[in-house]
Structure 1
Amino acid sequence: MEVSKADLKQAKVADHGEANDAARYERAQLDKELRVSYAALPTLPPDGVALLAEDVGVKKTQYDTVTILVLAILGGAFISIGGLFATVAQAGSAGMVAFGLAKVVGGFVFATGLILVVVAGAQLFTSDALMVMAWSSGRITGRAMMRVWVLVWLGNLVGALGTALIVFLSGQYMQGHGAVGEMALYYASSKATLPSDQAFFMGIMCNVLVCLGAWVGYAGRTVADKVLAIVFPIGAFVAAGFEHCVANMYFVPLGLFIKWWAPEKFWIDIKQAAPEIPVDHFIQNLGVVTLGNVVGGGICIGLMYWIAYRRPKQEQH
């Protein structure tokens, strides 16, 4: 009986599919054994963290839309709380405290935001860049990953804008004879006027550190472990002045609210005119920083660790 080329091709495809299924099954069994072997350890080693990061990425794609949006709104609000804390910590420091020291203090207290995201539970666009690992392993589809990213980005925006509006309406920026509001204006103006090419590379470096903060947080078993692990990478990104898209969703709108609606008394207290906060350039920079954050977290951290620990490896002979 003569076999056609089409039949041979179909058989080859079937054999290849069976081989892939067998490889996936074998990988799943090895991952199961890895989870069991690391379950009793006080901290997760890096290859265990890589597997956990994939598991978390898979879990996030299984959430329904409402759950993702609610957790993302909380994530935007939590990062805004970190921004609020950093603004207060640095208020009035100009000319009184060394620039670097003030930035370090602001960075350490800003870490409150990611600590709340990790410990209290929320979703953050920047740390969700690590979902690239689950996608690279074929455990989630690109479409599912993009769905989560878009929903989380939008939810973070709502949470950050809402927090900025509440903070403004509370009049908290008037504290310290306007020193808190003056620092908020400084943050907003510097971020909204940053050249876009710089913003892109600052976005990359920011999310390298944010995703490293999430990564070392995964390694911890206790709340204390996670808090201590998160503080230093996040403190480093803020102290260095790198750009975080979700933080900017809070800092710049708050500055705009103050510029547009603050009472005359505030401007008398701080003895300065409203700074430049160009809305069009801020919107452009928000997109640029978002792209930089994806590159920094998804490629420089997620993909690199996937290659190191999770890529399919050829057998050694």
Structure 2
Amino acid sequence: MIILLGLELATGNFALIPIAVKDKRTRMSLMLFNWTWVLFGNLIGGVIYAFLYYIVITQMGHSDPATIPVALRIIDIAETKTIGYAQYGLSGTVTAFTSALLCNWMVTLGTVMAFSSTTTNGKIIAMWLPIMTFFALGYEHAIVNMFLIPAGIMLGANISIADWWLWNGLPVITGNIVGGMIFTGLMLYWTYKTSEPK
């Protein structure tokens, strides 16, 4: 939906803007400005959506999340994505980073492949396989987690804001940047870059 509507997805920008910087079409400072504000906007949107979801699923706090199967599943996933990594220390951090790297390789392939079509159906078909791959394999996507982990916290997950950012937020954003920038953006740039005539 974000790609079709022409909106800003931070993880897509991790692949696309470095190409423009490499090609000297924009500056590094403007790329970092974009990444900062788009991440911040995605974070605000994710947390607001999590709050609205909490209102709906708990009937504005009148239903106990412990009695709602989907709420229990969100809590379990949020805890797995944070304290699940924490129990392994540095190995958990490396795992979260690597999962995020692989995730954004898929997400940014979907973003770039959407450019291969001029029709809505073509764009959806082009994006479908890489996005479904990342979901099916359970990879870490920073923007998805900006909804999922706050929703888990609101529903009663045994995690703190610090747990979120230390064990998931920071390593996952870093992995998403590396995966999108190197494995999709720069690899495609180097593959298709034509030599300038002398």
TM interval, shorter chain, is 0.7 to 0.9
Alignment of 1:31-180 (within 5 A): 116-129=1-14, 130-171=16-57, 178-180=68-70
Deviation at 1:314, TM superposition (A): 6.1
Deviation at 1:172, TM superposition (A): 5.8
TM-score norm. by structure 2 comes to 0.87
Residues 95-154 of structure 1: per-residue CA shift (max 9 Å, x gap): xxxxxxxxxxxxxxxxxxxxx101123101100012111110000010111110000000
SS at structure 1 position matched to 2:159: coil
SS at structure 2 position matched to 1:249: helix
Q: Percent identity?
A: 28
Alignment of 1:191-230 (within 5 A): 191-193=81-83, 194=85, 195-230=92-127
User: Where in structure 1 are there 5+ consecutive unaligned residues?
Assistant: 1-115, 260-274
CA distance in 2 between partners of 1:308 and 1:135 (Å): 16
Alignment correspondent of 1:186:
76
User: Where in structure 2 are there 5+ consecutive unaligned residues?
Assistant: 86-91
AA aligned to 1:279 is I
Q: Higher relative CO (CA 8 A, sep ≥ 6), structure 1 or 2?
A: 2
CA distance in 2 between partners of 1:255 and 1:231 (Å): 27
- The answer on whether the counterparts of 1:192 and 1:278 sit within 8 Å (CA) in structure 2 is no
AA aligned to 1:188 is A
- Pair member with larger Rg: 1
- The answer on whether the counterparts of 1:164 and 1:254 sit within 8 Å (CA) in structure 2 is yes
AA aligned to 1:171 is I
CA distance in 2 between partners of 1:223 and 1:128 (Å): 21
Is 1:256 the counterpart of 2:142? The answer is no
- The answer on whether the counterparts of 2:104 and 2:179 sit within 8 Å (CA) in structure 1 is yes
Equivalent residue for 2:179, pick from 268, 291, 296: 296
Deviation at 1:277, TM superposition (A): 2.5
CA distance in 2 between partners of 1:224 and 1:183 (Å): 32
How many equivalent residue pairs?
Answer: 184
